[in-house]
Amino acid sequence: MRDILLNIGRKHNQMRKKKLLWQAILISILTCVAVTLFAAWLAREQAKENLQAYLQDVAEQAMMRSDRVFTLSGLFLDELDHSALNDCSEAHQQRLSEIAFDELFVRSVLYAPDNIVQCSASSRRVYPLPAWDQKTTMGRSLWFEFKGRLPKPSLLYGTGPHYAMINPLYLVDILPAQKRALYIEAVLHQRVLASTKGVRVKTDQAWLQQSRLSKSNPNYKITAYLPPAELQRAWLTYFKDLLPLGIVLCTLLIGIIVWLTRRSFTMGLEIIEGLQLGEFEVHYQPIVALASGEVSSAEALLRWKRQNGSKISPDLFIGYAEENGQISLLTQFVLEKVASDLAQLANMDIAVAVNLSGEDLASPLFVENLAALCKKHQLAPKRIKLEITERSLVMGQNEIAVITRLREAGHMILIDDFGTGYSSLSYLHNLPVDILKIDKSFVQALGSGAATHHVASHIVQMAKALGLSVVAEGIETSGQADTLKEMGVEWGQGWLYAKAMTYADLKQFLQGPTPVSLKPLSFTPLSEAV
């Protein structure tokens, strides 16, 4: 039977190898795509953050420059308005010329009493001023596109009789450290006061922008813009910088995936190889009657020791076997070894409990194979007890039928690790169960004041109400044993009484001077062996 299962296991591994190979290829491709997309997203976020900071700096510089323009203009206009220069004399014009020469943003200064221009820094032409466009918070008038006698329009600013003709580009034409398709716009009361030349703004949300309000005039705002092409260009730059890191990360992740895939596949081969080389061994932990110390049964525990001396944890290889369809191989090995060992203990009334998995119960031939095994070794079915973990209790009618047939054949049915899964009273009512095994975590909580302190007592009461016997696992102290005995627990196992041992040690142990009444090994708590 074991050879048949080993051949099935080999074929299963070959099929699984192909499946794992394609899965690894697909996962590797998806991993590289995910890494690339993440690098692209990160590059875009960094580019956007950098450009927004750049626009913020540009808007702040432009606003500082703009505030300076209007502040300085207000100062020299106040000086002129309160001076004695009011006759367009040579001295008057000389002073106007000096201001236009000293201040780069000033194209000219006009003298226009009663809104009639009498003279400027370079002319004595007389003409009327048009109606002003807006008033500032300081009470000064603004003309947005005032040309006067100059070829280019200017901002005319002042309260009179003196006015400054300001170059509007000076408000927005700063020199940023990086050359970009930058557009800056100065707006007063929702009307464009000045804007960068040569760039046409789209009202598209894709344009990046940052705005700053004037501290002296909340209606005055300067906004710096960058078109989507600038974001794309910056994104490509950052992406090129991040791409080598992405390649390294992608390679690392693919390496991990390949290693895990090979490790997963190798574990399956190692299990088959270990069975062939005899690396697996069954150990037995006695189960005693708490009232008398009598040894009536033991639990079979599978151990794996490689030929190189290394030991593989049952949590690792049993969990792998359950997830990858090899648990039946291990169960069959344990059953055959237990049956063989029990046959050599024919003169002793001792039974052995073997753990079953959901896959075992799903096999339609499991009952017949176990019956054939008992017949081969001339064993009464009651000498092989069958443990089902609580997490296997969510099963269909076929599995329940298998359990029923096993119990009808004479095997006792135990629910292992009770209290840690998701079984319910309905399952216990419907399943042909004989014994509940209290998980060691609840036993160790006895007397500790933990939240699970009373769970063991509730399990015992429920078992008694259903007419079931109880076995407590993981007993480490005599205090735990006494408490469990007072609760009405019949059986117990743990390091307080005996640790798991090989068949040779079990045989010697049972043939010792006090096999019937087993005395505790120690009153000191010990860690549970795996």
- Residues 213-239: tens digit of each pLDDT: 888 788 889 988 888 888 888 878 877
Indicate which CATH number applies to the domain containing 338: 3.20.20.450
* 12-60 pLDDT tens trace: 555 555 565 666 677 777 777 887 888 888 888 888 888 888 889 888 8
Other CB atoms within 10 Å distance of the CB of residue 16: 18
Domain C-terminal end among 242, 277, 312: 277
* pLDDT for the residue numbered 501: 94
Using alpha carbons, select from 78, 113, 120, 70 the residue that is nearest to residue 95: 120
* pLDDT score of 512 more than 80: no
- Per the structure, how many domains does the chain have? 2
**Judgement on whether residues 122 and 252 belong to the same structural domain of the protein:** yes
**Judgement on whether residues 301 and 325 belong to the same structural domain of the protein:** yes
**Judgement on whether residues 414 and 511 belong to the same structural domain of the protein:** yes
* pLDDT for the residue numbered 361: 87
Interior CA angle at 28 toward 26 and 32, to 5°? 120
Contacts of 354 (CB under 8 A, 6+ apart): 300, 331, 334, 335, 338, 384, 385, 386, 387
13: containing domain: 1-277
Residue with more model confidence, 300 or 317: 300
**Which H or E run includes 265?**
helix 228-277
CA distances from 330 to 90, 303, 500 (A): 114, 11, 18
**Judgement on whether residues 74 and 192 belong to the same structural domain of the protein:** yes
**Judgement on whether residues 185 and 334 belong to the same structural domain of the protein:** no
Write the DSSP symbol of residue 473: -
* pLDDT score of 3 more than 60: no
Beta bridge partners of 351: 297
Domain C-terminal end among 228, 252, 277: 277
Residue with more model confidence, 493 or 510: 493
**Judgement on whether residues 200 and 238 belong to the same structural domain of the protein:** yes
**Judgement on whether residues 342 and 257 belong to the same structural domain of the protein:** no
**Is residue 120 domain-resident?**
yes
Task: Return the HEC string of 335-380.
Answer: HHHHHHHHHCCCCCCCEEEEEECHHHHHCCCHHHHHHHHHHHCCCC
**Which H or E run includes 249?**
helix 228-277
Contacts of 7 (CB under 8 A, 6+ apart): none
Amino acid symbol at 486: E
Q: What is the residue-averaged pLDDT of the chain?
A: 82
* pLDDT for the residue numbered 220: 87
* pLDDT for the residue numbered 524: 37
* pLDDT score of 102 more than 50: yes
Domain C-terminal end among 277, 292, 323: 277
Contacts of 528 (CB under 8 A, 6+ apart): 440, 474, 476, 494, 495
Please say whether the beta carbons of 184 and 178 come within 8 A: no
* pLDDT score of 164 more than 50: yes
**Judgement on whether residues 312 and 202 belong to the same structural domain of the protein:** no
**Judgement on whether residues 382 and 485 belong to the same structural domain of the protein:** yes
Please say whether the beta carbons of 127 and 117 come within 8 A: yes
* pLDDT for the residue numbered 294: 87
Distance CA 486, CA 223 (A): 83
Q: Is the peptide bond before 130 cis (omega within 30 degrees of 0)?
A: no
Residue with more model confidence, 426 or 401: 401
Residue with more model confidence, 333 or 188: 333
pLDDT band at 527, cuts 50/70/90?
very low
**Judgement on whether residues 181 and 244 belong to the same structural domain of the protein:** yes
Other CB atoms within 10 Å distance of the CB of residue 36: 17
pLDDT band at 372, cuts 50/70/90?
very high
**Judgement on whether residues 173 and 77 belong to the same structural domain of the protein:** yes
Beta-sheet strands, E only, within 189-279 = 191-195, 208-213, 220-226
Report the range of poorest mean pLDDT among 131-140, 247-256, 304-313, 455-464.
Answer: 247-256
Task: Return the HEC string of 485-515.
Answer: HHHCCCEECCCCCCCCECHHHHHHHHCCCCC
pLDDT band at 338, cuts 50/70/90?
very high
* pLDDT score of 333 more than 80: yes
**Judgement on whether residues 166 and 291 belong to the same structural domain of the protein:** no
